[in-house]
C-alpha cells in the first residue's frame, strides 16, 4: 500500500518548503510520502538552506524545485502551505482530506553578510522544526491508535 502523501507548498519552492520537507520526512520516516512544490518555482534550492539543514544532519542537496502541478494527479492526502502566497493560489487536490497553513518568514530575503543570512536561515529552520516535529508526532500517534 502506498503511504499517504503530504505536500508542502510555498511560492518559489527554494527555501521554506524544502526545509519543512526535509524535517518532516526525517520525523515521519516511511509512514508517509513527503514532497514539496511551489506555485512559481524558483528553479533551485537555496544553498544556505541546504547548509542550514546539513547542520542538523539532514541532507536536502538532492532536492529540486518543482511546480505544484506535478502533483495534481497524485493522491495528496494533506497540503501544508508555509507562505501566504501559496495559501491563496493552492488548488484542492483530488482526495485531499487535510489542509494546514503555517506561514514562516522567507529566509531567502535575508540581507547582510553570509553569516547574518545564515542566522536567519537557522532561525526559520528551527521555527519550522518546532511546528513540523509536533505535527509529525501527532500523525505518528494517530497511526498507533
Q: What would the mean pLDDT of 126-139 be, rounded to a whole number? A: 97
CB 38 within 8 A of CB 65: yes
Matching residue, cell 532561525: 123
Catalytic site residue from 7, 10, 15, 124: 10
Give the residue-averaged pLDDT of 102-122: 96
Catalytic residue among 83, 110, 120, 124: 83
Query: From the candidates 37, 90, 124, 136, which is the catalytic residue?
Result: 90
Q: Is the pLDDT of residue 101 over 60?
A: yes
Give the tens place of pLDDT for each residue, 51-92.
999 999 999 999 999 999 999 888 899 999 998 765 566 666
Q: Is 83 designated active site? A: yes
pTM over 0.75: yes
Specify whether 15 is catalytic. Answer: no
List of domains in the chain: 5-138 (3.40.50.2300)
**Beta-carbon-side half-sphere exposure of residue 141 (alpha carbons within 13 Å):** 6
Amino acid at each position: 500500500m502506498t503511504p499517504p502523501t503530504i505536500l508542502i507548498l510555498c511560492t518559489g519552492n527554494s527555501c521554506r518548503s524544502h526545509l519543512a520537507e526535509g524535517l518532516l520526512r526525517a520525523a515521519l520516516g516511511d509512514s508517509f510520502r513527503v514532497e514539496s512544490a511551489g506555485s512559481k518555482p524558483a528553479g533551485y534550492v537555496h544553498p544556505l538552506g541546504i547548509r542550514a539543514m546539513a547542520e542538523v544532519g539532514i541532507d536536502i542537496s538532492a532536492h529540486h524545485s518543482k511546480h505544484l502541478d506535478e502533483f495534481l494527479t497524485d493522491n495528496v492526502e494533506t497540503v501544508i502551505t508555509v507562505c501566504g502566497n501559496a495559501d491563496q493560489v493552492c488548488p484542492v487536490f483530488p482526495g485531499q482530506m487535510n489542509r494546514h497553513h503555517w506561514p514562516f518568514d522567507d529566509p531567502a530575503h535575508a540581507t547582510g553578510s553570509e553569516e547574518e543570512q545564515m542566522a536567519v536561515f537557522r532561525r526559520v529552520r528551527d521555527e519550522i522544526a518546532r511546528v513540523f516535529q509536533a505535527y509529525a508526532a501527532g500523525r505518528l500517534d494517530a497511526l498507533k491508535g
